[in-house]
Amino acid sequence: MLQQTQVATVIPYYNKWLRRFPDFASVSCASQNDVLHAWQGLGYYDRARNLRAAASIVQDRHSGTLPGDVAAIRKLPGVGRYIANAVATFAFNQAVPIVEANSSRVLARLLDMRAPIDSAIGREKLWAFAAQLVPKRNAARFNSALIDLGALVCLPDKPKCSVCPVKKFCRAKNPGALPIKKSKPRTKRLIERHAFVVSNGRVLLEQSSARWRGMWILPRFETGASDQPLYRSTFPFTHHRIAFVVYRRATPNRVSPTQHWFESIDDIAMPSPHRRAAQALLSATQVAPSRRRRSSKL
Ligand code: SF4
């Protein structure tokens, strides 16, 4: 959950997730819809799909217990060097390095590193330096302290060098100018049109096969529309800014195989922009679908 997402945002999701899925067995038995539904609002849904796949492997190959060996952890779906090492050091106190946003800033400044921290060469330098520093004993405490040093002292804009406990090791001549990052791609603007179709207290949704794969969205609506939209919003997605526009559309004679009518949207996995739009439009049209009666296909 902490990939791409801040701790404060994650905590309520984490607690709710553990109540719903207290162990690997419960995640591996859950349907994709249930897992995505529990994840909704956190974004980057591949993380949820990978977690479900990883839980199945832990359940089948490791008798439901996460292996402590960093190489075995790294073989799980969605697990790269950072996650494998973070789990190995924080859960098992193994002497492996971790490099994340806060510690990479500290390390780049200690080295006075000129390579961008998000370039291949810069990343490898940071990992090699972190590996040199990590002690054989108390690695979890050391790695945690390095992250806290970045979060509390070696701040992005105004590093507190006068109170820094590692000042005498630091080579940074102008710490405020570090770390160097590659320039970001420019934000692209996109318009995405979707249809709001209701009939007999049911709303038509389609299962996405691209972005938000497996989740339910308002049906896509490709052609230009001359009528006024019912709903507009914007949301960011990677380096895009999406203008999300919803139009009322008449009930079609036939629905496609990926589309279903839903009497309730409460228990289905929907990405946040689509859930917000569907809830606003359903309450504006006073369609109050009853709970529990899930879906029917025309
Ligand atoms: S001395 Fe300053 S720049 Fe260097 S690690 Fe400490 S806070 Fe960061």
> Looking at the domain assignment, is residue 75 inside a domain?
no
Which ligand 1 atom lies nearest to the CA of residue 175?
A: 3
CA distances from 138 to 73, 142, 240 (A): 20, 6, 42
Cα-Cα end-to-end distance for the chain: 37
* % of the chain at pLDDT higher than 70: 95
**Could you tell me the distance, in angstroms and rounded to a whole number, from the CA of residue 166 to the centre of ligand 1?**
7
**Structural domain harbouring 255:** 188-296
Give the pLDDT confidence of 14-25 residue by residue, as tens digits. 999 999 999 999
pLDDT of residue 284: 86
**Could you tell me the distance, in angstroms and rounded to a whole number, from the CA of residue 115 to the centre of ligand 1?**
18
CATH code, domain with 56: 1.10.340.30
Claim to verify: residue 172 and residue 193 sit in the same structural domain:
no
**Could you tell me the distance, in angstroms and rounded to a whole number, from the CA of residue 101 to the centre of ligand 1?**
15
Q: Report the predicted TM-score, pTM, of the whole model to 2 decimal places.
A: 0.77
Domain boundary among 141, 157, 183: 183
> Looking at the domain assignment, is residue 118 inside a domain?
yes
**Number of domains the chain contains:** 3
**Could you tell me the distance, in angstroms and rounded to a whole number, from the CA of residue 62 to the centre of ligand 1?**
43
Which of 69-78, 165-174, 286-295 is predicted with the least confidence, judged by mean pLDDT? Answer: 286-295
Give the pLDDT confidence of 182-227 residue by residue, as tens digits. 988 899 999 999 999 999 999 999 999 988 999 999 999 877 667 8
Our mutation pick for probing the ligand 1 site, out of 117, 157, 170, 171, counting the most ligand atoms within 8 A of Cβ, is 170
CATH code, domain with 274: 3.90.79.10
pLDDT value at 64 more than 50: yes
pLDDT of residue 4: 80
pLDDT value at 286 more than 80: no
> Looking at the domain assignment, is residue 97 inside a domain?
yes
User: Is 249 within 8 Å of 228 (Cβ atoms)?
Assistant: no
Which residue ranges have their beta carbon within 6 Å of ligand 1? 106, 109-110, 153-154, 159-161, 164, 166-167, 170, 172, 175
pLDDT of residue 293: 40
> Looking at the domain assignment, is residue 175 inside a domain?
yes
pLDDT of residue 296: 38
pLDDT of residue 196: 95
pLDDT value at 297 more than 80: no
> Looking at the domain assignment, is residue 88 inside a domain?
no
CATH code, domain with 179: 1.10.1670.10
pLDDT of residue 266: 93
- pLDDT band at residue 240 under the 50/70/90 scheme: very high
> Looking at the domain assignment, is residue 15 inside a domain?
yes
Average pLDDT for 157-180: 96
Give the pLDDT confidence of 132-153 residue by residue, as tens digits. 999 999 999 999 999 999 999 9
pLDDT of residue 221: 83
Domain boundary among 17, 46, 65: 65
pLDDT of residue 225: 66
> Looking at the domain assignment, is residue 282 inside a domain?
yes
* % of the chain at pLDDT higher than 90: 84
Claim to verify: residue 106 and residue 162 sit in the same structural domain:
yes
Our mutation pick for probing the ligand 1 site, out of 102, 105, 133, 153, counting the most ligand atoms within 8 A of Cβ, is 153
User: Is 249 within 8 Å of 206 (Cβ atoms)?
Assistant: no
> Looking at the domain assignment, is residue 42 inside a domain?
yes
- pLDDT band at residue 6 under the 50/70/90 scheme: confident
Domain boundary among 29, 50, 65: 65
Q: Averaging pLDDT over each range in 119-133, 209-223, 245-259, which range is the top one? A: 119-133
**Could you tell me the distance, in angstroms and rounded to a whole number, from the CA of residue 266 to the centre of ligand 1?**
49
